[in-house]
Every structure is written in C-alpha cells, then in structure tokens.
Homo-oligomer: A and B are copies of this chain.
Amino acid sequence: MARIVQKFGGTSVADLDRIRNVAERVKREVDAGNQVATVVSAMAGTTNQLAAWCQEIGPLVDAREQDAVVASGEQITAGLLAMMLQTMGVNARSWLGWQIPLRTDGTHSKARIETIETDDMIAHLGKGQVAIVAGFQGIGPNGRITTLGRGGSDTSAVALAAALDADRCDIYTDVEGVYTTDPRIVSGATKIDRITYEEMLEMASQGAKVLQTRSVAMAMQHHVRLQVLSSFVDQPGTLVVDEDEIVEQKIVSGIAYSPDEAKITLLGVPDRPGVAASIFGPLADAAVNVDMIVQNISHEDQSTDMTFTVGKADLDRAMSVLDGLKDELGHDGVQAETNVTKVSVVGVGMRSQPGVAKTMFETLADKGINIEVISTSEIKVSVLIGGDYTELAVRALHTAYGLDAEPSD
C-alpha cells in the first residue's frame, strides 16, 4: 500500500464528463489498495470568469476579497468530484483550504504555505476515504481565504505530498510527460522516464512549461517524488526524483528553449569599477530580472559594450530605466533586439563529462548559427541566438547529443 497525492488541472476537470474521467483514475488508485489525496483546480474557464468580474469592478481591488471570490472555483470542483466518486462507490470527501487547515502567510493572491495540519486528513485516509482537496487555496493568519498564485494547485499538491509523507505526487496534465525537447519542433523527441529536480528546474525555467518552477523547487527541498503524466492517456509519465534514484545518467537530458527573451546592448559604456552596479542596481530596483550578461573587451578609448538579456515583458521598463541613466553613465547608446531565443542544453551528467559545451558550439557553428551570448551553470549551457534559427538549432543539438528516438519500424 502506498500513499499517493494526485493533482488534476483545469482542463482535466473542465466539465462533468471529464470529472467522471478523473474519478475513474482516482478509483483505479484506490482499487490498487492505495491511500489517495487528490488536489483539483477550478473547472477551466471558471477562474477567468471570476477574475474578470473582479477586474471589472476596479483595477486595484482588495486581494483578500478577490481571493475569497476566485477560491470558490476549486471549492466547486472538489465537491463535484467527491460526489462523482461516491456514485462509483468510492468513499470520498472534499477538503477546503481552511478545513485542512492549510495555513499560509497573509500575502493574498500569492501566499506562501507555512504549515499543513494533516492529522485529521491522515485519520480519514486511514479509514479508506479519498481526500479531495481544493487546490490553490489556504487560510491566512487572520482567518481569511488566501490563494497561492500562478500554478498554485501544483504547489498545493507538492506541499500536501510533503506534509503527508506521500510515496509519490502525480501531476496530471495534458501532456504525457517531460520530453527531451519540444515535440512540436523535433518529431524524434522522446519522453524522459526519469529526470532530476535540478534538471527539471532548468527545463522548467527554460521554457518547458509542464511544471511550475516553484513546485519543483519545493519537491526538491522535501524530496517529494514527482510524476508528470497525462490525464487523457493511460501511460506512465516522467518521474522527477533525486539524482541517486537515476541509475543510468545521460550526459545531456534535454534541450530547452525560450523565445521570451530580449537582448539589450549598451554601447560605449565607460570601463571603470562600479559601472556594472550602476546599471544593474537600478534595473533590479525596477523589478527587471536580468538573465545573461556579457561584458565585451574594452575598446581603446577605455569604453566597452555591455550585453544582457531581460524577459520580453520587462523590455519597455528596462529601456526607460536605462534612458534615465544616460547622463550619469555617459554611454553612447542602447540597442534592443527581441527576435532572439535562448537555447539550453541541460544534464546533470555534464558535471563529470567535459566537452558538452564544445559539442554545442561546434554543432551550432556547423549550421552557421552565430552565438550572441553564452552563460553556463553546473548542469546547463545556454546560448542566445537569432530567433529565426531556433528550430534549426534545437533539432541539430537534439541529434548531436544522441537524443533522437530510434525510428520505429
């Protein structure tokens, strides 16, 4: 007997037919003799409708009230799924955030989970009752409903799995798992059976948006075995686990890419101590996240060019900050480029295997692709390239690292 936490997203519970489908999956785990806690999102579209009403009332509504309104979406799904299971003869009940209670801080609309009191739920699980948990919601220090922000139900599920000391946390979604790269670009992309938390974090933050970064980080911290799998196809998905659970490590696990970057180049920046701080300090103050940074070799006039990337959504804000620095910094000008893509090669194996970066640079050079910026971490190498080369680069790298599926007969 295992204790399993499951999570089903909005598209998986979009109507009563899909809720019935979810109930059948829950029942299968129960019939296999497992204790099951199932976290649900709001029916697809519900949260948007509720949020739209709030926005229509005004631009700056009280986040405490907005949380009370939007949390009702998960409350509805939880009740409906519990009823659906009961009609199948499965003992089940719904749990709202305040009923567990799942306690959070008071940061409404993006609250952080503080504690989950599980004694009561564990007693019910022990009697063979399935716990249907309304995701995305908790109760704040003042007894008000809080919500956990983007991807909140993933976070609810991972946190609950940690608190319940669950054997596994299954995140059901509309894809079959984590792939070596985007299957829309590389037809030979294959589903990864096992991936480490660190790799998953890099894959997630680099654009493979299957799991919210925040829930992966939480799973890593609490050693929760995550599985990403499809709620529509009946197959094992991708297990996200500790490194020591992966027997045969590939050097490179996957190729991620993110088209959501913009490149900024400051021309003719005086090459003197403290100049970096005078650029990146004000950007940080304006909540602009700077990712890759390259400082070019000094020109003869003791000036240099500085190149870095920011999220596309932050570009306008970044440019206005840099405009304001013109007098103080004395640079010659600013260039911005949005048609760029960050491509990353990810794998824990590269820690022990030199030459991964070399293969990447050679492969791109062979295809005539110019590398504009490079950045590396222990388990990934990222390059910024022209946006038009995205598919070409991803396909070439996928092949170069031996990730292509064997052609099936």
Give the interface of A toward B (CB within 8 A): 16, 50, 53-54, 56-58, 61-62, 64-66, 68-69, 71-73, 75-76, 78-80, 82-84, 86-87, 93-94, 96, 98-99, 143-145
Please tell me if the beta carbons of B50 and A62 are within 8 angstroms of each other in the complex. no
Expressed in whole angstroms, the minimum distance between the Cβ of A68 and any Cβ of chain B is 4
Expressed in whole angstroms, the minimum distance between the Cβ of A181 and any Cβ of chain B is 40
Interfacial chain B residues near A79, Cβ < 8 Å: 54, 65-66, 68-69
Interfacial chain B residues near A71, Cβ < 8 Å: 75
Interfacial chain B residues near A84, Cβ < 8 Å: 57
Please tell me if the beta carbons of A82 and B62 are within 8 angstroms of each other in the complex. yes
- Determine the residue in chain B with the shortest Cβ distance to A134: B68
Please tell me if the beta carbons of A66 and B83 are within 8 angstroms of each other in the complex. yes
Interfacial chain B residues near A61, Cβ < 8 Å: 83, 86-87
Please tell me if the beta carbons of B50 and A68 are within 8 angstroms of each other in the complex. no
Please tell me if the beta carbons of A65 and B83 are within 8 angstroms of each other in the complex. yes
Most buried by B among A76, A87, A94, A145: A76
Please tell me if the beta carbons of B80 and A69 are within 8 angstroms of each other in the complex. yes
Most buried by B among A53, A72, A75: A72
A16-B57, A62-B86, A87-B58 known; A75+B80 contact, CB < 8 A: no
A72-B72, A143-B99 known; A93+B64 contact, CB < 8 A: yes
Please tell me if the beta carbons of A80 and B94 are within 8 angstroms of each other in the complex. no
Expressed in whole angstroms, the minimum distance between the Cβ of A123 and any Cβ of chain B is 13
Nearest 9 pairs of A and B residues by beta carbon = A69-B79, A72-B72, A68-B79, A65-B79, A58-B87, A61-B83, A65-B82, A65-B83, A57-B83
A54-B83, A58-B83, A82-B62 known; A94+B75 contact, CB < 8 A: no
Interfacial chain B residues near A53, Cβ < 8 Å: 16, 76, 80
Most buried by B among A56, A79, A144: A79
Interfacial chain B residues near A58, Cβ < 8 Å: 83, 86-87
Please tell me if the beta carbons of B87 and A65 are within 8 angstroms of each other in the complex. no
Please tell me if the beta carbons of B72 and A76 are within 8 angstroms of each other in the complex. yes
Other than the known A65-B80, A99-B143, what 12 A-B pairs have Cβ atoms closer than 8 Å? Answer: A16-B56, A50-B76, A53-B76, A57-B80, A58-B86, A65-B79, A65-B83, A65-B94, A69-B76, A69-B79, A71-B75, A75-B75
Interfacial chain B residues near A50, Cβ < 8 Å: 76
Interfacial chain B residues near A96, Cβ < 8 Å: 68, 145
- Determine the residue in chain B with the shortest Cβ distance to A20: B57
Please tell me if the beta carbons of A87 and B57 are within 8 angstroms of each other in the complex. yes
